[in-house]
């Protein structure tokens, strides 16, 4: 992530307590910002001194890759994170090509978040895997291998001349066999997933998956890989944007770090790191709704609408470690899904202060210290309010 992946560095026994490294501070590019101001936002975030700029890929809004390419091109220093790309939305080989291109053109400035994606969104486009955890594991492993120049999948068996053999391309060329699963059937080849990991063979290249079943990410891959000229010298970190305990544990095994959605409290960060249980350095990126003002009460009111959805069931892991979790659930039960605004309005100020980074510059800096001590390496601030650029300016007041 550009700084040590762990903010708490163990000190030698004779040098006192652990030393906390500086927390990287980023800001999220709002998904609905008018397109004429997207590049302006990126430039201004860099000018103000933010360490990172994170773009999101939510269904129906803007694509993560395109946003990252655009903002990287108009800035020179700021790191750009993509958080997150739904794994099942893309062919992993072509995804690796896109990421590798960005990594070559903007070395050392890219972080890539991968995740399951919102289940409802993924189902609506027919891309929700039968076994999401296995799919994400295989996708992440394949992506990281491809970015390092390793070929993925078994080379295709010789089958005679391909249709374009006359043009000088061998029939069993590993990554460019016209009409084979290596190019046209990577996501179309069916794979038996009822009992993954038992050596079940993919169906014939070009086959289709069972109804409602998303083929595995490596189904049909036949020794595909990046060409030497396309392998980045600086391989970007691959992080998993996940929240469930099994998915967090997976992140600890196969990824360089984890992206935690908002709200990320110190309690949730500690619980997540315990579930992640990484054996080596592991970055922890924390999203939070954020508002900075001279008056604490004003900042809390600015942040409050950004918490409308945190009472939904999908956010339960974020709330469970908190000492007011039971009261929080009881309050949410009083409001229908059509009245999330009413729920947010009813949140006590002290809960809003815990669930958002909201307050005076000094108060938010103090919250950042707590997050750093909990193991967070990057804090990503989500601007709120009707004036996005005014919010960006106010958030910058917490920077050194």
pLDDT digits (tens, 9 = 90+) for 22-80: 899 999 999 999 999 999 999 999 999 999 999 999 999 999 999 999 999 999 999 99
- Check residue 235 and give its pLDDT: 99
**Cβ atoms of residues 333 and 325 within 8 Å:** no
- Check residue 159 and give its pLDDT: 63
For the domain spanning 8-152+225-299+358-398, the CATH number is 3.20.20.30
For residue 152, is pLDDT > 90? yes
The dihedral built from the CA positions of residue 373, 12, 252 and 142, taken in this order, carries a sign that is positive
**Cβ atoms of residues 72 and 112 within 8 Å:** no
Q: State pLDDT tens for residues 162-195.
A: 444 333 434 333 333 222 222 223 332 222 222 2
Q: State pLDDT tens for residues 8-34.
A: 333 344 344 444 568 999 999 999 999
Q: Which two tokens stand for residue 242?
A: 């996940």
In the chain, ranges of CATH 3.20.20.30 domains: 8-152+225-299+358-398
Q: State pLDDT tens for residues 345-366.
A: 999 999 999 999 999 999 999 9
Tell me what the mean pLDDT of segment 259-273 comes to: 99
Average pLDDT along the chain? 86
Q: Is the pTM value of this prediction over 0.85?
A: no
Beta bridge partners of 379: 25, 286
Tell me what the mean pLDDT of segment 82-98 comes to: 98
**Cβ atoms of residues 72 and 106 within 8 Å:** yes
Roughly how many angstroms between the first and final C-alpha of the chain, as a whole number? 19
């Amino acid at each position: 992530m550009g700084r040590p992946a762990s903010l708490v560095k163990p000190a030698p026994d004779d040098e006192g307590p652990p030393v906390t490294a500086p927390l990287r501070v980023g800001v999220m590019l709002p998904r609905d910002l008018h397109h004429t101001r997207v590049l302006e936002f990126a430039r201004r975030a860099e000018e103000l001194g933010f360490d990172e700029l994170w773009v999101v890929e939510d269904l129906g809004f803007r694509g993560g890759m395109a946003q990252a390419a655009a903002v990287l091109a108009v800035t020179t220093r700021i790191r750009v994170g993509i958080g997150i790309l739904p794994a099942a939305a893309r062919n992993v080989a072509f995804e690796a090509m896109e990421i590798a291109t960005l990594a070559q053109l903007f070395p050392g400035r890219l972080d890539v978040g991968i995740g399951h994606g919102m289940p409802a969104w993924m189902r609506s486009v027919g891309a929700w895997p039968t076994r999401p955890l296995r799919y994400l594991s295989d996708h992440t492993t394949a992506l990281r291998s491809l970015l390092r120049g390793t070929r993925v999948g078994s080379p295709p068996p010789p089958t005679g001349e391909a249709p374009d053999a006359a043009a000088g391309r061998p029939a069993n060329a590993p990554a460019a066999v016209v009409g084979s699963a290596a190019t046209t059937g990577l996501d179309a080849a069916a794979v038996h997933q009822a009992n993954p990991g038992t050596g079940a063979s993919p169906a014939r290249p070009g086959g289709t998956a069972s109804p409602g079943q998303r083929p595995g990410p490596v189904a049909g891959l036949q020794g595909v890989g990046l060409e030497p000229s396309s392998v980045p010298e600086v391989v970007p970190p691959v992080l998993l944007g996940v929240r469930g305990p099994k998915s967090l544990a997976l992140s600890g095994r196969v990824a360089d770090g984890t992206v935690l959605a908002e709200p990320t409290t110190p309690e949730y960060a500690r619980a997540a790191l315990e579930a992640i249980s990484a054996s080596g350095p592991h970055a922890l990126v924390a999203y939070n709704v954020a508002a900075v003002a001279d008056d604490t009460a004003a900042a809390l009111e600015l942040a409050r609408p950004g918490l409308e959805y945190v009472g939904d069931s999908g956010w339960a892991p974020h709330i469970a470690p908190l000492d007011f979790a039971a009261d929080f659930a009881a309050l949410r039960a009083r409001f229908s899904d059509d009245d999330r605004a009413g729920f947010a309005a009813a949140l006590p100020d002290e809960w809003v202060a815990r669930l958002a980074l909201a307050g005076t510059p000094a108060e938010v800096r103090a919250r950042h210290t707590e997050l750093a001590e909990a193991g967070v390496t990057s804090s990503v601030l989500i601007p709120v309010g009707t004036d996005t650029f005014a919010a960006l300016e106010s958030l910058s007041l917490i920077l050194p």
